Structure 1
Amino acid sequence: MGTTQLEAVQEPKYWHLKTVLNDALDSEFEVGEILPNERDLAARFGVARATLRQALEQLELEGRLQRRRGVGTTVAPPRMGVAVGPTTNAWPGAGRDSWNTIGCVEAPAPAPVAALLGTGPDDAVHTIRRERVMQGQSVATELLYVPPASVPNLSGLLTPATHAQAVLRELHTLELDGDDRAVELGSARAEDAKQLDRLPGAPVLVLTTRYYAGGRVAAASVATYRADTCRLTFGDSGAVEVTHHQPESRQAS
């Protein structure tokens, strides 16, 4: 069989270096340990500093490294498992909800969300911003969109401090028929990136959920998770533990 075009493509030097560095992280370094400076690393592996930076940036995107201001580049801990299922047949903000409410505004939903809700492009909906924190770190931000038709008895006397809770209380009076979810890889928008302490355009996991009541979509949420620190887990068994190999001599020390 002849060589295919894909097989003929040469692996970029930085990608090969990334693989070598990844093995070194497993065998020589502990979580939280600071890596040598770029000059020393480039000399050790016999590459240009530009090639080294590309490899380090890729490892950071994959969650193996963290760059901390005033500290340097450190070995990142394994991604934390964030449970997003199974469905609990509960509205956002009800029961043992793990999100913190930040605020609420009335504004038209983005076109894809408006299509999910069945609202017009200029129809204002209640938009609740929430945040999820784990181990003292913001790992996700969420926008929960609730059309006025889902909360018709909402009082008109709302303040910025009471708006979100009032919308959630009204939403909880509806009988939830169920929900469906979809997850995809995306890029962090400027506002989400700031809240998640990431650069705009950083890779994120986007979880979109539709909530049904009375035979229609009563609310929709778009949750943005840090792809470098999170593994979304589904099912009854909860998070699957994934750890990186650590050399025995270091584990014993």
Structure 2
Amino acid sequence: MGTTQLEKAPEPKYWHLRTVLTDALDSEFAVGEVLPNERELAARFGVARATLRQALEQLELEGRLQRRRGVGTTVAPPRVGVDVGPVRDSWPGPPGGDWQTEGCEDVTPPAAVVQLLATAPDAVVHAVRRTRMSQGQPVATELLYIPAASAPSVPEAPADTDSSSVRAEHLLRALHRLELEGQDRAVELGSAHTDDARQLDRLPGAPVLVVTTRYFVAGRTAAVSVSTYRADTCRLTFGDTEPVTLMAG
């Protein structure tokens, strides 16, 4: 049988520009500095604005750039290490620490969560919303979906926000009273939805890392959390024994 050699694929223009821009970011710009507008950058590098946008989007995905409302495109600081699994087989932590409880509501979860919970498509579950902070800035938002069977003693949903936060704390404590058998976790790249983007001070569609965790009790899924992390500032770590302190670099 004869052999063939694949032709070397030419490097896309945007990828070459991304390399050139990376060198410029390292040598000409400081962290937090605003880049020139697209017209100026396209003229400087002699490329179409569509090519420039592709390169900028790639650098944003890699965490080198940030798009900020009312500011423009800035040079991003180093990513922070965020531990998403400090202790094996543990429930989501109680209120306090890095996570801030924002409240809760009763919702019909998305189809993907319905499948993980193995509930009826129109079943209503509790949804606790939390925000993770690092150095005073939001780095993640979370929705923790809890079927009524996992928290049967929690009161009905209140109308006011303060009571909603108290009820969210009751739901978290209800989970801690269950005997957790195990959990599994998946991470995928996604795009920020409007609500998450607002919480994280990002633009809708910005790249995010979505961490989905299932918690098992008595052979069933007792809860599912969907955590959305900023892909431009976060580097996820997976510790099994001791918590990893958030740190720069």
TM-score (norm 2): 0.83
Q: What is the CA-CA distance between 1:201 and the residue it aligns to?
A: 2.4
Q: Provide the secondary structure at the position in 2 that maps to 1:35.
A: coil
Count residues with an aligned counterpart: 241
Give the partner amino acid of 1:35: L
Relative to structure 1, is the Cα distance of residues 232 and 161 closer, same or farther in structure 2, using a 3 angstrom cutoff?
closer
Q: Which residue of 2 aligns with 1:164?
A: 168
Relative to structure 1, is the Cα distance of residues 175 and 3 closer, same or farther in structure 2, using a 3 angstrom cutoff?
same
Kindly report which structure 2 residues correspond to 1:137-216, keeping only aligned pairs within 5 A, or say none.
137-156=137-156, 158=158, 159-216=163-220
Counterpart CA distance in 2 for 1:217 and 1:90 is: 14
Q: What is the CA-CA distance between 1:50 and the residue it aligns to?
A: 4.4
TM-score (norm 1): 0.82
RCO higher in structure (CA 8 A, sep ≥6): 2
Kindly report which structure 2 residues correspond to 1:76-155, keeping only aligned pairs within 5 A, or say none.
76-94=76-94, 97-155=97-155
Q: Which residue of 1 aligns with 2:234?
A: 230
Q: Which residue of 1 aligns with 2:6?
A: 4
Summarize deviations over 1:29-83 as a string: whole Å, max 9, x none: 3222333454554444333444334322332232212234554432111111111
Counterpart CA distance in 2 for 1:19 and 1:157 is: 52
Cα RMSD for the two superposed structures: 2.7
Relative to structure 1, is the Cα distance of residues 74 and 202 closer, same or farther in structure 2, using a 3 angstrom cutoff?
closer
Give the partner amino acid of 1:23: D
Q: Which runs of 5+ in 2 are unaligned?
A: none
Q: Which runs of 5+ in 1 are unaligned?
A: 244-253
Counterpart CA distance in 2 for 1:92 and 1:98 is: 12
